[in-house]
Amino acid sequence: MPGTAFRVDQSKSMREQDVPGHNRWHPDIPAAAEVRPDDEFRIECKDWTDAQVGNNDSADDIRDMDLDHNHMLSGPIAVAGAEPGDLLVVDYLDLGPAHTIDRGAGDAPGQGWGYTGIFARDNGGGFLTEHYPDAGKVVWDFHGRSATSRHLPGVRIASNVHAGLAGCAPSADLLAEWNRREQRLIDTDPNRVPPLALPPLETGNLMGTLTGAARDRAAREGARTVPPREHGGNVDIKNLSIGSRVFYPVYVPGAHFSIGDLHFAQGDGEISFCGAVEMGGYADIGVGLIKDGMRKYNVTTPLFQPGRNEPRYSEFVSFIGISVDESGDQHYMDATIAYRRACLSAIDYLVQFGYTGEQAYLILCAAPIEGRVSGIVDIPNACCSLYLPTEIFDFDIRPSATGPTYRDRGQCALTS
């Protein structure tokens, strides 16, 4: 019975923990702990930036973020008996922040508060970076399983707490494939801002307990943690909340499962890149194995069953986007553009009630919006739709004959 399989002291960097985690994917990173099938245990996590963001009213920390450190993951956890080709069954029994309310809490994200950020165009960017190129931030105060923000008056959201990022270590072959295909993409426009993808980078690496030459080599090869890949990784799926069960492909003996990037809440798309309510905290999980599960079920990516604990909303104002871009140019079946247009329409709408565009953008990031691929066959227009829960607002946002009630609703934190 392993108790807490990975401990974190929120007042210290992930680099200074008794057993440090890692921020690159590589099969050679040694296991930080070992568990057995049917074990249930806790993993503690730092927020994805390792506490580079403060509970304050300036977005300078977002603007100046050193992205080379991210994401700080807890693990790897070895699972006895796991072999390549198995499916690792992970039950997300419970997740939560380091503190659910501010009870003499410290100043690390997760200790009673979290944040959502707009990354600047020249430091990471985000889904709407062409429209909102500058850094911005909102700080959320936790009230148990809901949150409010002094930067977003009138909004209260229920938590759909989840880990943005989790998965098993890649094999050496799979890692090589990731690096190869991503480099080919980068090579098509190597100087783009923001970049097309992030190649391996030694700077800022943390490779768990690996040291010396082995660490240096692994750091040169290790995949960055930003994209989701076939092992799962940074999928940022808001529905992987309490009670969900995920089946992760196993590529190395022992599985080497890692997890991080906890989110108190998020909407579909996590659209500002740092678009969830980011925090440190804990994940209580149980593990099992389906031997030879990848072949049995003919799968190469994770499967999952959502849990029963997603917060219940039943009223929405919904927006539509098609794959005609902001300049009026027609694209062929492009769901990315269609969803972007739906997001922009929702922002345009919320601005009529007195939010700034930045605030509206951040609401769509963190609130439990639904983002759907509604029609993907009606040439040439993909159609995506976005469902904004009306009940997160303390005023009525539904359309009516009298028009919207405009009120000055302040602004998010900006840069100095």
Instruction: Concatenate the DSSP letters of all residues of 213-231 into one string.
Output: HHHHHHHHHPBPSSSEETT
**What is the smallest separation between the CB atom of 261 and its own copies, expressed in angstroms?**
10
Closest CB to its own copies among residues 143, 217: 143
Q: Are 263 and 164 in contact (CB under 8 A)?
A: yes
d(CA 397, CA 377): 32
**What is the smallest separation between the CB atom of 180 and its own copies, expressed in angstroms?**
9
Closest CB to its own copies among residues 28, 257: 257
Question: At residue 342, what are phi and psi to the nearest 5 degrees?
Answer: -65, -40
**What is the smallest separation between the CB atom of 216 and its own copies, expressed in angstroms?**
26
Closest CB to its own copies among residues 201, 316: 316
Backbone region of residue 362 per phi and psi (left: phi > 0; alpha: psi in -120 to 50; beta: other values): alpha
Q: Are 350 and 413 in contact (CB under 8 A)?
A: no
Closest CB to its own copies among residues 361, 412: 361
d(CA 202, CA 215): 10
Closest CB to its own copies among residues 215, 381: 381
**What is the smallest separation between the CB atom of 217 and its own copies, expressed in angstroms?**
24
Go through 81-93 and write b for each residue having 16 or more CB atoms within 10 A of its CB, e for each that does not.
ebeeebbbbbbbb
Instruction: Concatenate the DSSP letters of all residues of 384-416 into one string.
Output: EEEEEEGGGBSS--S--TT----------EE--
Return the structure tokens found at 44.
């503690």
Backbone region of residue 394 per phi and psi (left: phi > 0; alpha: psi in -120 to 50; beta: other values): alpha
**What is the smallest separation between the CB atom of 281 and its own copies, expressed in angstroms?**
13
**What is the smallest separation between the CB atom of 108 and its own copies, expressed in angstroms?**
17
Closest CB to its own copies among residues 213, 401: 401
Handedness of CA 13, 18, 20, 21 (dihedral sign): negative
Mention every residue, 6+ apart, whose C-beta is less than 8 A from residue 393: 154, 155
- DSSP state, residue 171: P
Closest CB to its own copies among residues 150, 181: 181
**What is the smallest separation between the CB atom of 416 and its own copies, expressed in angstroms?**
25
**What is the smallest separation between the CB atom of 45 and its own copies, expressed in angstroms?**
15
Closest CB to its own copies among residues 78, 384: 384
